[in-house]
Amino acid sequence: MRLSPLVDTHAHADGNPAIALREFERAFAAGLVGVVIVGIDLASSQIAVDLARREPRVRAAIGVHPHNASRWTPQVERDLRTLSQRPEVAAIGECGLDYYRNLSPRVEQERAFRAQVQLARETGKPLLVHDREAHREVLEVLSATGCPSGCVLHCFSGDRVHAERCLEHGIYLGIAGTVTYPRSLALRDVVRWAPLDRLLLETDCPYLSPEPLRGRRNEPANLPLIATAVSRLRGIEPEEVARATTANARTLLGWPQRAEGE
């Protein structure tokens, strides 16, 4: 399926550049004009930067995921700050709180999260936030630390009440393949209601493949399926969703450049 222009604002590489580059080729053939590869620790952040250096339609986000927060050290913070100066880096993250799996102690998750919020503020780069079973706590940290001017709740999983609170903070909502799942009733309600200029599209690949590909490895080329699901919920054409969410990505990230013919 081809739909353009689209930007995948949240994707992961598996550490194999050859696989990632092949996936990029399929994504651009499917109509994507940009992909953000997101780090979850220092090593994957460096891989994201390396991929972005090789492919101009790719940008990197660098950060430490809450699962890895126990590895946050002053040296990691210094290295991320240095890496954040690279022109390929479009955002800080994935960072945040995960109170579902709790793979790092909550106090360490919050420490790493607060530090990365501050890094985003210092660099002027947008923030990509992971929030699982921690809606109230995430907003508390963002309010206390000072929400960056650009912020995304990646793979939004809250209800309409939570979405309203996020929008009051100027936060974008990242819509992933979960919007295609029949049981995602609260998310579907949010997508029907939320202002289109606050929605972003993402695959979170290799996870969360949309229907009818659920259970398979996800990749950026599947983003048109997510855009089409959003269009059906809103009662508008997929092309309108593509144009609007890509404009939102450009506003947030200052990238990608407008493609020829748009």
Q: Which band of pLDDT confidence, cut at 50, 70 and 90, is reported for residue 244?
A: very high
Taking alpha carbons only, the member of 89, 134, 86, 87 closest to residue 113 is: 134
Q: pLDDT digit string (tens) for 207-221? A: 999 999 999 999 999
Q: Does residue 258 form part of some domain?
A: no
Q: pLDDT digit string (tens) for 45-66? A: 999 999 999 999 999 999 999 9
Identify the domain containing residue 15 by its residue range: 6-253
pLDDT at 57: 96
Q: Does residue 261 form part of some domain?
A: no
Residue whose pair of structure tokens reads 């996870």 in the numeric block = 207
State which amino acid sits at residue 245: T
pLDDT at 18: 86
Of the listed ranges 76-80, 146-150, 172-176, 225-229, the least confidently predicted one is: 146-150
Q: Mean pLDDT over residues 8-33, rounded?
A: 93
Q: Does residue 175 form part of some domain?
A: yes
Q: pLDDT digit string (tens) for 123-179? A: 999 999 999 999 999 999 999 988 888 999 999 999 999 999 999 999 999 999 999
Q: Which band of pLDDT confidence, cut at 50, 70 and 90, is reported for residue 261?
A: low
Q: Does residue 77 form part of some domain?
A: yes
pLDDT score of 35 more than 70: yes
**Structural domain count, the chain:** 1
pLDDT at 146: 86
Average pLDDT, the chain: 96
Of the listed ranges 21-25, 138-142, 173-177, 258-262, the least confidently predicted one is: 258-262
pLDDT at 148: 85
- DSSP one-letter string for the chain: ---SSEEEEEE---S-HHHHHHHHHHHHHTTEEEEEEE-SSHHHHHHHHHHHHH-TTEEEEE---GGGGGG--HHHHHHHHHHTTSTTEEEEEEEEEETTT--S-HHHHHHHHHHHHHHHHHHT--EEEEEES-HHHHHHHHHHH---SSEEETT----HHHHHHHHHTT-EEEE-GGGGSTT-HHHHHHHHHS-GGGEEE---TTS-PPTTSTTSPP-GGGHHHHHHHHHHHHTS-HHHHHHHHHHHHHHHHS-SPPPTT-
Q: Does residue 259 form part of some domain?
A: no
pLDDT score of 40 more than 70: yes
pLDDT score of 262 more than 70: no
Q: Does residue 260 form part of some domain?
A: no
Q: Does residue 225 form part of some domain?
A: yes
Q: Does residue 1 form part of some domain?
A: no
pLDDT score of 236 more than 80: yes
pLDDT at 114: 97
CA dihedral of residues 92, 27, 43, 204 (deg, nearest 10): 60
Read off the CATH number of the domain in which 244 is found.
3.20.20.140
- pTM summary value: 0.97
Q: Which band of pLDDT confidence, cut at 50, 70 and 90, is reported for residue 260?
A: low
